[in-house]
Amino acid sequence: QAEAQMDAGPIWATREFPMRAAPKASIYRNEVCEGALAAVREALSQVADWRAGAWAPTALAAWPAARGQWRALIRQTDRRIDWSADTTATVLAKIRAADGFPGVADALFGEPCHLFDAQPGTAPAGTMPGEVLGRREGAIRRATVDGAVWIGHVKRSGSDHPFKLPATLAFADETAALPVLTGDAEAAEIGYRESDDGAVGFLRFDFTNGAMSTVQCERLRDAIETAGARPTRVLVLEGGRDFWSNGIHLNVIEAAESPSDESWANINAMNDVCLALLTLTDKLTVATMRGNAGAGGCFLALAADEVWAREGVVMNPHYKNMGNLFGSEYWSYLLPRRVGEDVGRQIMGDRLPLLARKAVALGLIDECFGATPAAFAAEVARRAEALAADPSLASRIADKQARRSADEAEKPLAEYRAEELRHMQRNFYGFDPSYHVARFHFVIKSPQSWTPRHLARHRDLGWQAPAAKESAVT
């Protein structure tokens, strides 16, 4: 309960959870969010008794066996990394406790920066703690006293681009000559495995904050094509734990020499990923959203034959909030195919988040299940293996191929893409700078001056509270 002293009011409900070894932001998005929702529901259930005087919240001082305690603000001096003494576990704990904000203040190549997005790694014997050993994808591997860490993102201090970027992009000149390393597969952005019987392929892609740059899209497209060539019957696309995908990488675009050109390259690469899925017609494809999805990431999921989401996943299947961006990723084909023209226009125009359950009710996605990430993963594996073993799978694939051929004959995918890109070209290169302005403010995290109009519906002329509307009707 809110009182004059912060976090010191009476307690209405509590939840506990084990602390996972993960970034702070990930724990907030998962365990904290789920616990908070459960506690809010419990608190709301007590309101009637509280009003009647039959129940009262417990004062913090009276809470039995309280485990929590007031803790001082953690400062950069408290989380500073001592590369000559800190173990891999200690370095990971320090970075994860500050991820996604504010990061850990450190230095790379003699330049001050903040570190984010750390994964455990290995190092050959004889390496010096703190030494940068090599690179892979956008990350660099740095030695610790007992191993190494992969550092995926950094924010350079005093840079022209003072926001998070892939480490090899932020320090492009310094990392260009580093060796490209393999190994540490769990730290890679993309991974692939198959079920024991080889019938189901699982393609994992876990991009920080769900943002997909041009090169990341190209790698994912190649991975889909490689997985598609395997003798499996079902291909499951897993996405990341926190985010399925949020579409093009606005930070990388903002840092480019020509943001317009990079936007164009990125959206075309994103379209190529969708096309690789849409044209994979000899097996069943399933998009399994463990985490949230936004903008083009939503339509990437719709390019699969089936879309399953974990309970509590939030989708934002629209683009207009980013400076009236039109969007691509074949949405003009995929969205009406699932929900029809009218509902599709409403979804795109409302610009509101959709919970997975609501998305199922609208027909936007197929299934919603799994109260926890572990439960969702287990059920995905079970259902995917059941699909692969289903005697009717061959006829389903034949029907899929026939529909794709019929749709192509009616209107080719290339035509949908060209129409969308004509609008996007105006967004990127036209006289209206709205997209570029919105992207800049998004990347530097400018606070909103007021609640956006599409959310503040009470400001609309003639708006009535829902209760007032019901009274007027009756």
Q: What's the domain count of the chain?
A: 3
Mean pLDDT of 24-28: 95
pLDDT(137) > 70: yes
Q: Which amino acid is at 260?
A: S
pLDDT(26) > 70: yes
Task: Find out whether 244 and 292 touch, Cβ atoms under 8 Å.
Answer: yes
Domain boundary among the residues 161, 184, 207 is at 184
DSSP code string of 118-133: EEEE---TTPPTT-EE
Residue 396's CB is within 10 A of a number of other CB atoms, namely 13
Are 343 and 372 members of one domain?
A: yes
Q: How confident is the model at residue 78 (pLDDT cuts 50, 70, 90)?
A: very high
Taking only the tens place, the pLDDT of each residue in 181-209 is 988 988 899 999 999 999 999 999 999 99
In a domain, 453, yes or no: no
Are 180 and 198 members of one domain?
A: no
pLDDT(444) > 50: yes
Q: What are the CA-CA distances from residue 443 to residues 24, 325, 328, 393, 429 (Å)?
A: 20, 16, 21, 45, 19
Are 200 and 268 members of one domain?
A: yes
Spatial separation of the C-alpha atoms in residues 399 and 254, rounded to whole Å: 43
Task: Find out whether 326 and 359 touch, Cβ atoms under 8 Å.
Answer: no
Structure tokens at 249: 């990488």
Spatial separation of the C-alpha atoms in residues 155 and 166, rounded to whole Å: 9
Q: What are the CA-CA distances from residue 78 to residues 20, 109, 304, 388 (Å)?
A: 21, 23, 46, 52
Are 24 and 103 members of one domain?
A: no
In a domain, 336, yes or no: yes
In a domain, 463, yes or no: no
Residue 436's CB is within 10 A of a number of other CB atoms, namely 17
Are 239 and 95 members of one domain?
A: no
The length of the chain, given as a count of residues:
474
Spatial separation of the C-alpha atoms in residues 418 and 256, rounded to whole Å: 24
Whole-number mean pLDDT of the chain? 94
DSSP code string of 21-51: SS-HHHHIIIIIHHHHHHHHHHHHHTHHHHH
Confidence (pLDDT) at 130: 96
Instruction: State the pTM of this model.
Output: 0.92
Residue corresponding to tokens 């704990």: 93
In a domain, 472, yes or no: no
In a domain, 146, yes or no: yes
Mean pLDDT of 45-72: 89
Are 176 and 239 members of one domain?
A: no
Low-confidence winner among 134-148, 226-240, 252-266, 443-457 (lowest mean pLDDT): 443-457
Among residues 235, 239, 238, which one has the least CA distance to residue 195? 235
Are 98 and 12 members of one domain?
A: no
Among residues 78, 102, 100, 101, which one has the least CA distance to residue 90? 78
In a domain, 355, yes or no: yes
Taking only the tens place, the pLDDT of each residue in 312-365 is 999 999 999 999 999 999 999 999 999 999 999 999 999 999 999 999 999 999
Among residues 236, 251, 337, which one has the least CA distance to residue 287? 236
Confidence (pLDDT) at 470: 43
Are 152 and 284 members of one domain?
A: no
Are 151 and 249 members of one domain?
A: no
Confidence (pLDDT) at 474: 35
Spatial separation of the C-alpha atoms in residues 224 and 236, rounded to whole Å: 10
Confidence (pLDDT) at 341: 96
Q: At 248, which CATH number?
A: 3.90.226.10
Burial of 279 (0-12, 13-18, 19+ CB in 10 A): middle
Taking only the tens place, the pLDDT of each residue in 152-182 is 999 998 888 999 999 999 999 999 999 999 8
In a domain, 414, yes or no: yes
Is the pLDDT higher at 449 or at 154?
Answer: 154
In a domain, 437, yes or no: no
Mean pLDDT of 219-233: 98
pLDDT(453) > 90: no
Name the region of 348 (left: φ>0; alpha: ψ -120 to 50; beta: rest). alpha
Domain boundary among the residues 166, 184, 202 is at 184
Spatial separation of the C-alpha atoms in residues 392 and 345, rounded to whole Å: 34
Q: At 155, which CATH number?
A: 3.10.25.10
Residue corresponding to tokens 């998305």: 359
Spatial separation of the C-alpha atoms in residues 198 and 20, rounded to whole Å: 31
Q: How confident is the model at residue 471 (pLDDT cuts 50, 70, 90)?
A: very low
Is the pLDDT higher at 203 or at 72?
Answer: 203
Confidence (pLDDT) at 454: 72
Domain boundary among the residues 61, 88, 110 is at 61
Are 153 and 222 members of one domain?
A: no
Confidence (pLDDT) at 473: 33
Are 247 and 379 members of one domain?
A: yes
Confidence (pLDDT) at 467: 65
Domain that residue 163 falls in? 76-184
Are 237 and 372 members of one domain?
A: yes
Mean pLDDT of 58-69: 83
